[in-house]
Structure 1
Amino acid sequence: MASCWQMIRGWSSLFVVILTPLVLLPLPLIINTPEGKTAYTLFIMAVYWVTEAIPIGVTSLLPIILFPMMNIIDAKVIAKSYMSDLLLLFLGGLLVAVAIERWNLHRRIALKILLLVGSEPRWLMLGMMLATWFLSMWISNTATTAMMIPITEAVLQQLKGTLTTDNLSDEAEDVKGSVEKQKIGDSEKANGTSKPEPEEPGSPETPREKHYRLMCKGMSLSICYAANSGGIATLTGTGPNLVLKENADKLYAEHGLSSPVNFASWIGFGLPLSALVLFVCWIWLQIAFLRCRGLCQCCTSSEEKTAQGKRVKAIVRQEYEKLGPITFAEGAVLFWFIMLVVLWISRDLGGVGGWGDLFAEGSVSDATPAILIGVCLFFFPSRLPFRRRTHAPERYSVNGIPVEVDDDDDYRLKPLLLWSDAHSKVPWSLFLLLGGGFALSEGCKQSGLSAWMGEQLEVFSSVDKWGMLFILCYLTAAMTEVTSNTAISILLMPILTTLALRTGVHPLYYMFPAALSCSFAFMLPVATPPNAIVFSYGHVRVVDMMSAGLVMNILAVPLLVMATGTWGDAMFDFGNIPAAFLNSTSALASQA
Structure 2
Amino acid sequence: MTDKPSSMIPPILRDGWELRDIIIVVLTPIVLLPLPLGGSSESACAYVVIVTAVFWITEALPIAVTSLLPIFLLPVTGVMGAKDVSSAYMNDTSMLFIGGLLVAAAIETWNIHKRIALRVLLFTGSEPRWLMMGLMLPTWFLSMWISNTATTAMMVPIANAVLVQLKQAKSAHIEGKENLALELDDIEITGSTEKKDINDRDDDRHTSENAGSTNILSPEEEDEDLEHKRMCKALCLCIAYSANVGGTASLTGTFPNIVMKGQADIIYQNHGSESGITFNTWMLFGLPTSFLVLIVLWCWLTLFLLRCRGCGSKTDPEVKEQIKSVIRQEYNKLGSLTFAQIAVLGHFLLLALLWITRDLGGVGGWGDMFTAKFATDSTPSIFVGMLLFIFPSALPAVFCCRPKSGSQKIKPLLDWNTTQSKLPWGVFLLLGGGFALAKASSKSGLSAWLAEELNALQYLEPWVINLILCYIATFATEVTSNTAICTLIMPIIGQLALNLHVNPLYFMLPTAIATSFAFMLPVATPPNAIVFSYGHLRVVDMCISGFTMNILSVLVLILATETWGNAYFGFQSFPSIFLANSTLPIPVPRNLTNSSLA
Normalised by the size of structure 1, how large is the TM-score? 0.90
Q: Which amino acid aligns with 1:34?
A: S
Q: Deviations over 1:258-305 (max 9, x none)?
A: 3311111101000000000000000000111101234x13444xxxx1
- Could you tell me the percent identity over the aligned residues? 51
2:186 maps to which of 157, 181, 185: 181
**Counterpart of 1:140?**
147
Q: Conserved in 2, the CA contact under 8 Å of 1:477 and 1:518?
A: yes
Q: Conserved in 1, the CA contact under 8 Å of 2:36 and 2:77?
A: no
Q: Conserved in 2, the CA contact under 8 Å of 1:160 and 1:212?
A: yes
2:234 maps to which of 218, 238, 242: 218
| Residue 584 to residue 292, structure 1, CA distance change in 2 (3 Å) | same
Separation in 2, partners of 1:470, 1:499: 14
**Counterpart of 2:596?**
none
Deviation at 1:410, TM superposition (A): 7.0
**Matched length:** 556
Does residue 364 of the first structure (1) align with residue 375 of the second (2)? yes
Q: Secondary structure at the match of 1:8?
A: helix
Separation in 2, partners of 1:257, 1:175: 59
Does residue 68 of the first structure (1) align with residue 75 of the second (2)? yes
Q: Conserved in 2, the CA contact under 8 Å of 1:164 and 1:307?
A: no
Separation in 2, partners of 1:456, 1:470: 19
Q: Which amino acid aligns with 1:229?
A: V
2:336 maps to which of 325, 328, 351: 325
**Counterpart of 2:225?**
209
Does residue 449 of the first structure (1) align with residue 454 of the second (2)? no
**Counterpart of 2:268?**
252
**Counterpart of 1:394?**
none
Deviation at 1:587, TM superposition (A): 5.3
Does residue 28 of the first structure (1) align with residue 43 of the second (2)? no
- Within 5 A, what are the aligned runs for 1:241-280? 241-280=257-296
**Counterpart of 1:232?**
248
Q: Which amino acid aligns with 2:410?
A: L
Deviates more, 1:473-482 or 1:272-281: 473-482
Separation in 1, partners of 2:224, 2:21: 46
Q: Conserved in 1, the CA contact under 8 Å of 2:127 and 2:313?
A: no
Q: Conserved in 2, the CA contact under 8 Å of 1:509 and 1:574?
A: yes
Deviation at 1:583, TM superposition (A): 2.4
Separation in 1, partners of 2:572, 2:312: 49
- Within 5 A, what are the aligned runs for 1:328-367? 328-367=339-378
**Counterpart of 1:405?**
none
Deviates more, 1:209-218 or 1:94-103: 209-218
**Counterpart of 1:398?**
none
Deviation at 1:6, TM superposition (A): 4.6
- Within 5 A, what are the aligned runs for 1:274-289? 274-289=290-305
Separation in 2, partners of 1:99, 1:384: 17
Q: Conserved in 1, the CA contact under 8 Å of 2:125 and 2:131?
A: yes
1:96 maps to which of 98, 103, 121: 103
Separation in 2, partners of 1:356, 1:491: 33
Does residue 7 of the first structure (1) align with residue 15 of the second (2)? yes
**Counterpart of 2:591?**
none
| Residue 156 to residue 526, structure 1, CA distance change in 2 (3 Å) | same
Separation in 2, partners of 1:36, 1:458: 20
Separation in 2, partners of 1:588, 1:37: 27
Deviation at 1:13, TM superposition (A): 1.2
**Counterpart of 1:467?**
464
Deviation at 1:149, TM superposition (A): 0.4
Separation in 1, partners of 2:558, 2:81: 40
Deviation at 1:509, TM superposition (A): 0.6
Deviation at 1:3, TM superposition (A): 8.8
Q: Deviations over 1:90-119 (max 9, x none)?
A: 000000000000000011011100011001
Deviation at 1:174, TM superposition (A): 2.5
Q: Conserved in 2, the CA contact under 8 Å of 1:211 and 1:293?
A: no
**Counterpart of 1:44?**
51
Deviation at 1:123, TM superposition (A): 0.4
Deviation at 1:510, TM superposition (A): 0.6
Q: Secondary structure at the match of 2:181?
A: helix
Deviation at 1:366, TM superposition (A): 0.2
**Counterpart of 2:508?**
511
2:566 maps to which of 556, 564, 569: 569
Does residue 297 of the first structure (1) align with residue 305 of the second (2)? no
Does residue 18 of the first structure (1) align with residue 26 of the second (2)? yes
| Residue 204 to residue 514, structure 1, CA distance change in 2 (3 Å) | farther
Q: Which amino acid aligns with 1:235?
A: L
Q: Which amino acid aligns with 1:46?
A: A
Deviation at 1:14, TM superposition (A): 1.2
Q: Which amino acid aligns with 1:114?
A: L
Deviation at 1:436, TM superposition (A): 0.3
Deviation at 1:251, TM superposition (A): 2.0
Q: Secondary structure at the match of 1:112?
A: helix
Separation in 2, partners of 1:387, 1:273: 49
Separation in 1, partners of 2:91, 2:585: 28
**Counterpart of 2:384?**
373
Q: Conserved in 1, the CA contact under 8 Å of 2:194 and 2:533?
A: no
Deviation at 1:358, TM superposition (A): 0.4
| Residue 409 to residue 576, structure 1, CA distance change in 2 (3 Å) | farther
Structure 2 spans left out of the alignment, 5+ residues: 1-6, 210-214, 588-598
- Within 5 A, what are the aligned runs for 1:510-549? 510-549=507-546
Separation in 1, partners of 2:303, 2:253: 28
Does residue 420 of the first structure (1) align with residue 417 of the second (2)? yes
Deviation at 1:387, TM superposition (A): 6.8
**Counterpart of 2:595?**
none
**Counterpart of 2:115?**
108
Deviation at 1:71, TM superposition (A): 0.9
Q: Secondary structure at the match of 1:147?
A: helix
Q: Secondary structure at the match of 2:487?
A: helix
Q: Which amino acid aligns with 1:363?
A: F
Deviation at 1:9, TM superposition (A): 2.8
Q: Conserved in 2, the CA contact under 8 Å of 1:292 and 1:298?
A: no
| Residue 267 to residue 200, structure 1, CA distance change in 2 (3 Å) | same
Q: Deviations over 1:397-430 (max 9, x none)?
A: xxxxxxxxxxx98721000001001101100000
**Counterpart of 2:494?**
497
Separation in 2, partners of 1:567, 1:17: 46
Q: Deviations over 1:29-52 (max 9, x none)?
A: 3x3211111111111111111111
Q: Deviations over 1:61-110 (max 9, x none)?
A: 00001000011100011001111011010000000000000000011011
Separation in 1, partners of 2:86, 2:309: 59
Q: Which amino acid aligns with 2:18?
A: G
| Residue 387 to residue 292, structure 1, CA distance change in 2 (3 Å) | farther
**Counterpart of 1:399?**
none
Deviation at 1:253, TM superposition (A): 2.0
Structure 1 spans left out of the alignment, 5+ residues: 391-407
Does residue 126 of the first structure (1) align with residue 133 of the second (2)? yes
| Residue 503 to residue 352, structure 1, CA distance change in 2 (3 Å) | same
Q: Deviations over 1:525-550 (max 9, x none)?
A: 11111101011111111111110000
Q: Secondary structure at the match of 1:311?
A: helix
Q: Deviations over 1:364-413 (max 9, x none)?
A: 0000000000000001000000179x9xxxxxxxxxxxxxxxxx987210
Separation in 1, partners of 2:407, 2:237: 45
Q: Secondary structure at the match of 1:174?
A: coil
Deviation at 1:491, TM superposition (A): 1.1
Separation in 1, partners of 2:223, 2:116: 35
Q: Which amino acid aligns with 1:149?
A: V
Q: Conserved in 2, the CA contact under 8 Å of 1:382 and 1:414?
A: yes
